[in-house]
Amino acid sequence: MSERQATDGLVPRRVREALPYVVLGLYALWTLVPLAWMSVSALKRRGDIIQLSFVFEPTLKNFRLVFFESGVPGFLFNSVLVASVSALVAVFFGTLGGYALSRSDMRGKKHLAFWIISTRMAPIAVAIIPLFFLFTRLNLLGTYAALIIAYSTFNLPFAIWMMRSFFDEIPESIEEAALVDGATRWQAFRKTLVPLVAPGIGATAIICVVFAWNDFLFAFMFSNQDTQTIPVSAAQQIGQEGIDWGIVMATGLVILAPMVAFGMIVREYLVEGLTMGAVKQ
Amino acid sequence: MGNISYQDVTKEFNDGAIVAVDDLSLEVEDGEFLVLLGPSGCGKSTTLRMLAGLETVTEGEISIDGERVTGLEPRERNVAMVFQNYALYPHLTVEDNIAFSLRMNTDLDEDAIREQVVETAELLDIQDLLEKKPGALSGGQQQRVALGRAIIRDPSVFLFDEPLSNLDAKLRADMRTELTRLQQELGVTSVYVTHDQSEAMTMGDRIAVMNDGKLQQVGGPNDVYDHPANEFVAGFIGEPSMNFLDVRFDREDGPRLTTTGDGGSFVYPLSEAVADRLGVSDGARLTLGVRPEDIQVDVEATGASGRAQRTTVDVVEPMGSDSFVYFDVDGTVWTGRTDRIDRQPGSELVYEFDESALYLFDEDGETIKSIGTGEGSFHRETEEPLVQE
C-alpha cells in the first residue's frame, strides 16, 4: 500500500487530474480547427478567402451557388440513396448472419467467424480492380447498383460481427421461452430477439451509413456523371482552371452537416448500442 | 392431461464425446410432481430440455400423453416452461409477457386475452404489475410473472428448470410452498429440476435422482431418504449428508465391522440376525453409512451393546434448535446432529448408533442394508430393484 502511494506521488495529483483534459483539449483543437476554418471560409467572398482574417463580410453566395447552380443536390441525393440502401442491405443480412453465428453450434464456427472478418481486413484498394472488372463484365459500371453492392459487401462482415456480439449478449433462454410459448424460430427471432438488439441494429446501421457516405474511392471508380456521390463531386471542383475555395468549402459543409445532425440525433442510441452490455431481465 | 414417458433416452454432445444422459427410462404419471435431482452436470437439465424440445434426442423415445414427441418442435408439444433466469421478454410489459403464448397459440381476441391475463395475474397476486416492464420488478415478482406465463397456457406439462435458485432463502421457501399449492390446484403434470435436495424433498411426489447422466433411483421422498439404492443417493440426500467409513465384515468371533484404515480403532459388533440377512461373505469390504441424526452422543462408554465409540470433538456448531458436532472417526470427519451441546474442540466424546440406523454398501456402491431391520431394509433379499422403471 505504502509502496503504491509512493509511486503515485511521483506524478503530482494536480497534473494527473489535468492531463486528460490537456490531451483531450489538444485533440478537440486538432479536430475542430479545420472544421471551423471550413465553416468560416464557406461564408467568405472569393477575395477574402486567402486572407487569414476573421473580419469579413459574410455571404451565403457560395451556398447559393452550390445548391442552385451546381449538380450538388443531385449528388447529395445519390449519396443518400446509395448510403441508405447499402446500409439496409448490410444490416439486414448482418443481423441474420450475426444471429446464426451467435446461436449455431456448428464445427469450425470460430474459423468461419474469423474468415468473415478477415475479408474486411484487406484495404479497399485491393478490392477495387477485381470489382472494376466484375462490374464491367456485368455492365454495372456507373449504376447505383455497383456502389450499393460494393458498400454492402464491404460493410457486411463488419455488420455480421457487430450483430453477433449483440446477440451473444442476449440469454438464449429468452428465445427458448418464446419457442416453448408457441413461436416458430422465425417468430421468436422477430418478436423477441430483434426488439432486444434494436439498439445494436441502429448502431450498426449508423456505422454502415457513415462508411458509405464518406467513401471516395469506390464512388470515384464505379460511378459516372449521373450516379456520382457528393465526395466525388467535391473533389472534382478542384479542377484545372482555378479553384473556387468558397464553393469547395461550402460543399464540404454540405457533406458534413447531415452526418453531424444524424450523429447528434442518434447519439444516445449509438452509445446504448455500442455498450449494450447485459440485457436486464 | 399428460403423462410422460422416457424410453431408453440417450443424449450425446460433441459426437458422443460427452454423454449427458445415458439410457434413461422414466414414467411420470398424470398430475404427478416429479423432481429431477442431482449435482450440476448430472444431466437433469438436459433431460428436461429434451422433453421441452430444446435439445434433440440422440437415441430413444419421449412421449407425452401417449403421443411420441421426439421429433416435434417445442411449440407442438403443449408444454410450458419456467427458466432459472425467468427468461421474461425485457421489452414487453408484464401483461404482454403473460399474453405472449396466447397470442402465439390461439385466435382469441384481445378482450378475451386480457381477461385471461387478469385472471392469471390475480391467481399469482401480480395484478398491479401488469403495466410494468420486467426490469422494474424484483426477483420474486419476475418469478411470478414467469409462472403466470406458464400457467396461462393450460399446458399438459409444466417444466421447471431450477426456478427458485436465483431467489434469496426466505423468498425461496415461500415460493416453494406457493408452487406446490399451485401445482396441486391446477393438477398439471410437472417436472421440476433442482440440485437442492430440500426443494426436492418438500415439493416432489416422487424424486428421480440422477448422477453422471444415469438415473440412480426414483421414489417418494421418504423412500429415497430411507432406502437409497446406492451410496451416491445416500450421500446426496440428507442435510448434513450421511457419514461414511470403509469397513471390513468379519464373522469369526461374532459378526462385526472393522475399519480398514491403518491403526483405526473403529469396531462395530453386529447381531447375528442382521449379519445373516446381509448376504455378504466373510472378509468382504463394505462402506458403512450412518445419518448424522441417528448418532447419539454422550452415551455410557460401557453400554450393553458394545457399540459405543470414543473419539475427540473437532468442532461444535450451534444451530439454535440443535447442534452439529464434528468428530474424528479413524481419519474421516463425521457429523452428528444432536440436542444442544457445548463442547470444547479436542475434548472426549462417546457416541453410538443403533444397528437399525446402519447403512451398508458394497464395493460397487450398491446398497446392502438401508435403515431399519424389516423387509425392504436388506436389499439383497428383495428381488425387485428399488429403481422403478
- Cα–Cα distance between B5 and A85 in angstroms, integer? 53
B81/A177 Cβ within 8 A: yes
Last residue of a domain, one of B233, B259, B280: B233
Please identify which residue in the block is written with the cell numbers 471390513.
Answer: B248
Is residue B218 one of the residues assigned to a domain?
yes
Query: A–B: how many Cβ contacts below 8 A?
Result: 74
Residue B293 CB contacts under 8 Å (≥ 6 apart), including other chains: B337
Q: Are A113 and A190 members of one domain?
A: yes
pLDDT in tens, A205-247: 988 999 999 999 899 999 988 898 989 888 888 776 678 888 8
Is residue A281 one of the residues assigned to a domain?
no
Q: Are A31 and A147 members of one domain?
A: no
Q: Are B152 and B217 members of one domain?
A: yes
pLDDT, residue A2, reads 46
Q: Which amino acid is at A29?
A: L
Characterize B226-255 residue by residue with b for buried, 16 or more Cβ atoms within 10 angstroms of its Cβ, and e for exposed. bbbbbbbbbbbbbeeebbbbbbebbbeeeb
- Cα–Cα distance between B120 and B100 in angstroms, integer? 13
* Conformational region of residue A25, where left means phi above 0, alpha means psi within -120 to 50, and beta covers everything else: alpha
Is residue A219 one of the residues assigned to a domain?
yes
A196/B91 Cβ within 8 A: yes
Q: Are A74 and A165 members of one domain?
A: yes
pLDDT, residue A274, reads 64
Cα angle vertex A70, ends A66, A71, to 5°? Answer: 115
pLDDT, residue A244, reads 82
In this structure, of A103-117, A168-182, B17-31, B127-141, the range with the lowest mean pLDDT score is A103-117
Q: Are B305 and B210 members of one domain?
A: no
Could you tell me which chain B residue has the CA closest to the CA of A182? B75
Which residues in chain B have their CB less than 8 angstroms from residue A174's CB?
A: 87-90
A195/B74 Cβ within 8 A: no
B101/A181 Cβ within 8 A: yes
Is residue A220 one of the residues assigned to a domain?
yes
The residue among B11, B48, B98, B104 with the most chain A CBs within 10 A of its CB, best to mutate, is B104
Q: Are B225 and B243 members of one domain?
A: no
Total tally of structural domains belonging to chain B: 2
Grid cell at residue B45: 437439465
pLDDT in tens, A2-28: 444 445 567 788 888 899 999 999 999
A179/B53 Cβ within 8 A: yes
Q: Are A37 and A160 members of one domain?
A: no
B142/A281 Cβ within 8 A: yes
Of A171, A182, A195, the CB nearest to B104: A182
Give the mean pLDDT of A87-105: 94
Q: Are A98 and A237 members of one domain?
A: yes
Cα angle vertex B380, ends B377, B385, to 5°? Answer: 85
Per DSSP, the residues of B207-253 read EEEEETTEEEEEE-HHHHHHS-SBHHHHHHSSSSPPEEEEEEEE-TT
- Cα–Cα distance between B142 and A145 in angstroms, integer? 49
pLDDT at A1 over 50: no
Q: Is A181 on the interface with B (CB under 8 A)?
A: yes
pLDDT, residue B7, reads 96
The residue among B12, B77, B78, B83 with the most chain A CBs within 10 A of its CB, best to mutate, is B83
Give the gyration radius of chain B's Cα atoms: 25
Q: Which range of residues forms the domain containing residue B247?
A: 239-369
Q: Could you tell me the CA-to-CA distances from A228 to A139, A219, A259 in Å, in that order?
A: 16, 6, 18
- Cα–Cα distance between A230 and B26 in angstroms, integer? 70
- Cα–Cα distance between A126 and B336 in angstroms, integer? 76
Nearest CA of chain A to the CA of B106: how many Å?
10
The gap from C-alpha A177 to its chain's centroid, in whole angstroms, comes to: 36
B 37-96 → A contacts, CB under 8 A: 52-54, 73-75, 79-81, 83-91
Reference A112, options A160, A155, A166; nearest CA is A160
- Cα–Cα distance between B36 and B192 in angstroms, integer? 6
Last residue of a domain, one of B210, B233, B256: B233
Q: Which amino acid is at B138?
A: S
Question: Cis bond leading into B240, ω under 30°?
Answer: yes
A280/B80 Cβ within 8 A: no
Bridge partners for B160 per DSSP: B82, B192
User: What's the CATH number where A66 sits?
Assistant: 1.10.3720.10
Grid cell at residue A186: 422465425
Total tally of structural domains belonging to chain A: 2
The answer to whether A144 touches A80, Cβ cutoff 8 Å, is no
Cα angle vertex A259, ends A254, A263, to 5°? Answer: 150
Is residue A55 one of the residues assigned to a domain?
no
B90/A179 Cβ within 8 A: no
* Conformational region of residue A76, where left means phi above 0, alpha means psi within -120 to 50, and beta covers everything else: alpha
3-class SS of residue B38? coil
Nearest CA of chain B to the CA of A184: how many Å?
7
- Cα–Cα distance between B99 and B148 in angstroms, integer? 9
Q: Is B158 on the interface with A (CB under 8 A)?
A: no
- Cα–Cα distance between A46 and A244 in angstroms, integer? 7
Grid cell at residue A192: 423477441
User: What's the CATH number where B49 sits?
Assistant: 3.40.50.300
Q: Are A170 and A238 members of one domain?
A: yes
Q: Are A102 and A139 members of one domain?
A: yes
3-class SS of residue B286? strand
Is residue A146 one of the residues assigned to a domain?
yes
Q: Is A201 on the interface with B (CB under 8 A)?
A: no
Please identify which residue in the block is written with the cell numbers 460427452.
Answer: B18
Q: Which range of residues forms the domain containing residue A218?
A: 62-274
Please identify which residue in the block is written with the cell numbers 427458448.
Answer: A176
- Cα–Cα distance between B85 and B161 in angstroms, integer? 9
Sheet strands side by side (includes B18-28) = B18-28, B4-13, B59-64, B67-68
Of A177, A182, A183, the CB nearest to B87: A177
Q: Are B70 and B218 members of one domain?
A: yes
Reference B218, options B205, B236, B235, B202; nearest CA is B205
Q: Is A279 on the interface with B (CB under 8 A)?
A: yes
User: What's the CATH number where B348 sits?
Assistant: 2.40.50.140
Is residue A279 one of the residues assigned to a domain?
no
B149/A177 Cβ within 8 A: yes
pLDDT tens string for chain B (389 positions)? 689 999 999 999 988 899 999 999 999 999 999 999 999 999 999 999 999 999 999 999 999 999 999 999 999 999 999 999 999 999 999 999 999 999 998 899 999 999 999 999 998 999 999 999 998 999 889 999 999 999 998 899 999 999 998 888 888 888 899 899 999 999 999 999 999 999 999 999 999 999 999 999 999 999 999 999 999 999 999 989 999 999 999 988 889 999 987 777 899 999 998 999 998 999 999 999 999 999 998 877 776 677 888 899 999 999 998 999 999 998 899 999 999 888 889 999 999 999 999 999 999 999 999 999 988 899 987 655 444 43
